[in-house]
């Protein structure tokens, strides 16, 4: 193989690998823990905040986003005559993505040459290991019946730290209230941020 072909093959291999990584859509892992709630059309709700949420500036923004999503499901906010309490919590965690040393890797090699010459290029990309730590973000949504105190709906959505809490909230409430219990992957919208 001629030397200029090595560069073309390497460039094509790298382009294919980067293209595959770039085209992977962001997703949230959504877990629904309760059966589908039986909510009468026009059910009213209010927000309950934990003491630790009182000073969080993004809490009001998250609740405003939830107002829109809950209204689509037929619920109506009424702080004085609420039937349901809604609690929204967010958290970020640091998760280790592998072992301290080494670990599995994917390698791409291009070889060639003739007697007396050597024309090999290699690339190795770790797929785990290295002790890397990544951040994840989670949004938890709970609806509780105020008369009985029973939680009638709970869903959590988690994703990478670059995903906005509003995007995770949308994933957690996608198809609400017709969401079966269990875990599913939900594509995220375009919103990003803290």
Q: Tens digits of per-residue pLDDT, 138-181?
A: 999 999 999 999 999 999 999 987 888 999 999 999 999 888 89
Helix, strand, coil tally for the chain in percent (to 5): 25, 35, 40
Measured distance CA(161)–CA(91) in Å, rounded:
10
Q: Quote the pLDDT of residue 105.
A: 57
Q: Please, what is the Cα angle at 12 between 8 and 13, to 5 degrees?
A: 115
Q: Examine residue 177 and say whether the peptide bond preceding it is cis (omega within 30 degrees of 0).
A: yes
Query: DSSP class of residue 100?
Result: S
Cα–Cα distance for residue pair 191/48, rounded to 1 Å: 25
pLDDT score, position 98? 55
**Where do we find the tokens 């090699």?**
109
- How many angstroms separate the CA atoms of 91 and 50, rounded? 13
Residues composing the chain: 194
Task: Report the pLDDT averaged over residues 15-21.
Answer: 50
Q: How many other CB atoms are found less than 10 A from the CB of residue 86?
A: 20
Q: What percent of the chain has pLDDT over 90?
A: 41
The upper half-sphere exposure of residue 117, i.e. CA atoms within 13 Å in the direction of its Cβ, equals 7
Distance of CA 153 to the CA centre of its chain: 20
| Rounded mean pLDDT, 118-139 | 64
Q: How confident is the model at residue 81 (pLDDT cuts 50, 70, 90)?
A: very high
- pLDDT at 36 exceeding the cut of 90: no
Q: Say if pTM beats, i.e. exceeds, 0.85.
A: no
Predicted confidence at residue 193, as pLDDT, reads 37
In the beta sheet, which residues pair with residue 96? 133
Q: Is pLDDT of 20 > 50? A: no
- Residue 191: the pLDDT is 41
- The C-alpha atoms of residue 47 and residue 67 are separated, in whole angstroms, by 10
Q: What percent of the chain has pLDDT over 70?
A: 62
Whether 86 and 140 have beta carbons less than 8 Å apart is answered as no
């Amino acid at each position: 193989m001629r030397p200029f072909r090595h560069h073309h093959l390497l460039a094509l291999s790298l382009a294919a690998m980067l293209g595959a990584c770039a085209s992977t859509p962001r997703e949230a892992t959504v877990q629904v823990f309760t059966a589908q709630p039986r909510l009468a059309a026009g059910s009213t709700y209010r927000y309950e905040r934990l003491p630790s949420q009182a000073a969080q500036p993004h809490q009001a923004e998250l609740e405003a986003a939830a107002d829109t999503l809950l209204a689509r499901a037929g619920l109506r906010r009424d702080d004085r005559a609420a039937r349901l309490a809604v609690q929204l919590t967010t958290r970020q965690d640091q998760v280790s993505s592998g072992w301290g040393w080494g670990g599995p890797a994917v390698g791409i090699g291009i070889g060639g040459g003739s007697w007396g010459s050597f024309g090999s290029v290699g690339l190795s990309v770790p797929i785990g290991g290295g002790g890397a730590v990544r951040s994840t973000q989670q949004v938890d949504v709970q609806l509780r019946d105020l008369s009985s105190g029973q939680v009638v709906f709970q869903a959590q959505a988690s994703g990478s730290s670059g995903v906005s809490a509003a995007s995770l909230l949308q994933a957690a409430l996608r198809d609400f209230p017709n969401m079966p219990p269990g875990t599913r992957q939900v594509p995220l919208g375009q919103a990003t941020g803290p």
